[in-house]
């Protein structure tokens, strides 16, 4: 990774994809070893990722949707980016209304996502730390959890102040939040994860999206979330009466 914050962003995505497939199993106690042993795939997840380079910087938002077969869609800034198995297939700019070169951080995220089948949690920890976290086991943080609902794990570097915190639901063992923090300058990544039924195939179809892009009746907001279905049936974008 060319920058520390890009490495952190990629690490956040790896953590999501590495832990996202934890299956339900009996028992009320949750240990990191359980998480480590329970990798499985879920059909679909989405995440909102906020990246801040420095304490006074405005965070940058990424919206990520990941489906079966390695299909992915990312919105960052004015770009909507489509990918499959770790490769960018198309990237579009909503302001310019044309295909463009994809955002570099989004490319790196997709590259990491494409390789998740080869990543272990040890690799996740190493990438979070830029290779500085070796043989460090995440520890349960009793002070940061609500006993009935959440389990919280902390990862602390042994050679730097850098750390990460992962929040998971106790019953399903699925992660719902991740924070990666660099105490030297308050550089951080915050990740919020949700789960639902998979989006329709057209949501991941770059060619169909390209046709919608040329239709002037489609606003930038409607294009940003084109074909996105809310799992509760709520409106994503207000339609004209």
Instruction: Find the mean pLDDT for residues 21-29.
Output: 40
Is position 241 within any domain? no
Q: Which residue has the tokens 């550089």?
A: 187
Is position 239 within any domain? no
Is position 227 within any domain? no
Question: Which of the given ranges, 11-15, 135-139, 211-215, has the highest pLDDT on average?
Answer: 211-215
- 3-state secondary structure (DSSP) of residue 208: helix
pLDDT digits (tens, 9 = 90+) for 110-124: 877 665 544 344 544
Strands (E), the chain: 45-52, 60-66, 71-76, 79-84, 87-93, 98-99, 139-140, 150-156, 163-169, 175-182, 187-195
Residue 9 banded pLDDT, cuts 50, 70, 90: low
Q: How many residues does the chain have?
A: 241
Is position 230 within any domain? no
- 3-state secondary structure (DSSP) of residue 51: strand
Is position 118 within any domain? yes
Q: Read off the CATH number of the domain in which 135 is found.
A: 2.50.20
Is position 220 within any domain? no
Number of domains in the chain: 1
Q: What global pTM score does this model have?
A: 0.79
Instruction: Tell me the residue range of the domain where 88 lies.
Output: 4-213
pLDDT digits (tens, 9 = 90+) for 45-102: 888 989 888 899 999 999 999 888 888 999 999 999 999 988 899 999 999 999 999 9
Is position 237 within any domain? no
Q: Which residues contact 214 (CB under 8 A, 6 or more apart)?
A: 97
Q: Whose CA is closest to 43, among 64, 70, 63?
A: 70
Is position 234 within any domain? no
């Amino acid at each position: 990774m060319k920058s520390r914050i890009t490495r952190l962003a990629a690490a956040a995505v790896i953590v999501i994809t590495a832990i996202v497939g934890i299956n339900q199993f009996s028992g009320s106690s949750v240990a990191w070893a359980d998480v480590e042993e329970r990798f499985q795939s879920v059909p679909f997840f989405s995440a909102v990722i906020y990246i801040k380079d420095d304490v006074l910087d405005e965070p940058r938002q990424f919206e990520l949707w990941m489906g079966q077969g390695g299909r992915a869609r990312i919105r960052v800034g004015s770009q909507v980016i489509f990918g499959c198995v770790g490769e960018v297939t198309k990237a579009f700019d909503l302001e310019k209304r044309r295909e463009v070169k994809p955002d570099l951080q989004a490319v790196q995220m997709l590259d990491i996502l494409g390789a998740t089948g080869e990543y272990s949690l040890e690799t996740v920890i190493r990438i979070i730390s830029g290779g500085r976290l070796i043989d460090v086991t995440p520890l349960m943080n009793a002070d940061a959890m609500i006993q009935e609902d959440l389990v919280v794990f902390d990862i602390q570097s042994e050679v730097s102040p850098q750390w990460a915190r992962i929040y998971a639901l106790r019953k399903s063992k699925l992660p719902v939040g991740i924070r990666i923090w660099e105490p030297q300058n308050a550089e951080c990544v915050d990740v919020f994860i949700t789960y639902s039924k998979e989006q329709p195939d057209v949501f991941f179809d770059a060619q169909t999206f390209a046709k919608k892009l040329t239709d002037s009746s489609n606003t930038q907001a409607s294009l940003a979330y084109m074909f996105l279905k809310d799992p509760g049936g709520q409106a994503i974008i207000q339609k004209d009466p």
